[in-house]
Amino acid sequence: MYVEIQAPTRKPITVPALQAMKRDGCKIVALTAYDASFAYQLEVAGIDLVLVGDSLGMVVQGHDSTLPVTLEAMVYHCAMVCRGLRSSMLVADLPFMSYRDVDHALQASARLMAEGGAVMVKLEGGGWVCEIMQRLTEREVPVCAHLGLTPQSVHKLGGYRVQGRDAAAAEHLLDEARAVQQAGASLLVLEAVPATVAERISRELVIPTIGIGAGVDCDGQILVLYDILGITPGQRPRFSKDFLCDHGSIPKALRAYAEDVRSGRFPTSEHCY
């Protein structure tokens, strides 16, 4: 007999709620999702933030990078995920070249929010991207910045490499973090940066930081859903962990991930740089 799993009743997670979580020292729990069924499971598990990442290009579509992902695909998957959520915040990636200038960024963001149901959009990079962020926030579009390893820059970076290892690179990351906050970003994802650098950035910024391979001192953590379920083809990233293997079912794995992030048990030193 099929028994429906009821999602917990809670207030929707908002931008001010995320800021309050940082202020109160409550870790933000985030995961990616790409369809309604998994989105609902994340809702039931109490995940705070759900990202429709352009990682779908690799884990769903089978590409070797995120670059082929189109805006149409992002809107399609975002709308599916939205139907599975009630209170978790929905964030969507702006795909490669969809924010190459202000007009394209505004049009793409409008589609992800109006058609896809996203509450916030995520952009990779600093520098010239700060102008785009500022113009979006001026038009009431909540923005999540993304620094460190930025997958859309894979060819420029020469691969998926840790960023900010030496002193000069670390200072540059800190400067970029200050700049995206000044540009109006409400949230910052730090990917594949040394834990000491991420801790310094998280301590200095007013906006929350979400780490992925950036140490336990970020204000929250995010992983690719398929990685924590052990179903991503190929080698799992060092910063990830197979929670399904340890807990035996998807609902238990999701709850364990949420509990480990909130308690500070994840990530450990083996998941950091």
Cite the active site residues: 191
Task: Tell me how far the alpha carbon of residue 107 is from its chain's centroid.
Answer: 21
Choose among 25, 16, 18, 15: nearest CA to 264.
Answer: 25
Q: CA triplet 248, 241, 166: central angle to 5 degrees?
A: 175
Cα 110 to Cα 180: distance, rounded to the nearest angstrom: 21
Q: Which tokens go with 77? A: 């998957």
- Helices (H) and strands (E) counted in the chain, each on its own, are 12, 8
At 224, is the secondary structure helix, strand, or coil? coil
Query: For residue 273, how many other CB atoms are within 10 A of its CB?
Result: 20
